[in-house]
Amino acid sequence: MNYPNGKKGDVSSSNRKRPSSKPDFSNRGMTLEEDINQTNKAYLTLNRAVIHKKPTPVQIVNVDFPKRSAAVIKEAYFKQASTTDYNGIYKGRYIDFEAKETKNKTSFPLANIHKHQIDHMKQVCEHNGICFLIIRFTTLEETYLLPAEKLFPYWERQKDGGRKSIPYQEIVTHGYIIPLKFKIRVDYLQVLDDLYF
């Protein structure tokens, strides 16, 4: 084959890129957020619960209008720190939770959670709301529900100079596995039924 610059291309077998024998898993599954959004949509359709992702409050500062039908945000700032990812109502109880993913196989890093989120979760629990953390270990393909009351001691421990993560085995012990299903991807209400109802 000749290229436009006149040079001949090297088509020897040693320079050809061979297809990898390893399977490509890059788009194998949905993210935890996508799975939960799909789950919440199914809950709403089935009239089981009303739970939505909270919008992040943003202050728009600069907008460019290249044409009337297409505004482009050029500059924006978070108005305030967000609390948790999701909230709603189920069987007359307020539901509030945060969802996190980690590639770590042996522990869940507490750096994934912020103090203002812990403060918010404590307030929800004080008012008899149901509050929890959904943790997905992506490399293990396991998803757990950890009640907020079980999360707080780990948070306090790391504040006092202790370990800055929750060991995987302790999440297995104190949390509840959420099996991945087809129609309702992350059926966390099944776990809540066993725990609270």
Among 77, 80, 156, 78, residue whose Cα is nearest residue 113: 156
Bridge-based pairing of strands 93-102 and 107-109 is unpaired
Tell me the chain's radius of gyration from C-alpha atoms. 23
31 marked among binding-site residues: no
The answer to whether residues 39 and 143 touch, using CB atoms and an 8 Å cutoff, is: no
117 marked among binding-site residues: yes
CA 55 – CA 58 distance, rounded (Å): 9
Alpha-carbon dihedral angle through residues 25, 27, 29, 34, given to the nearest 10 degrees: 160
98 marked among binding-site residues: yes
Annotated binding-site ranges for Mg(2+): 83, 85, 98, 117
Binding residues: 83, 85, 98, 117
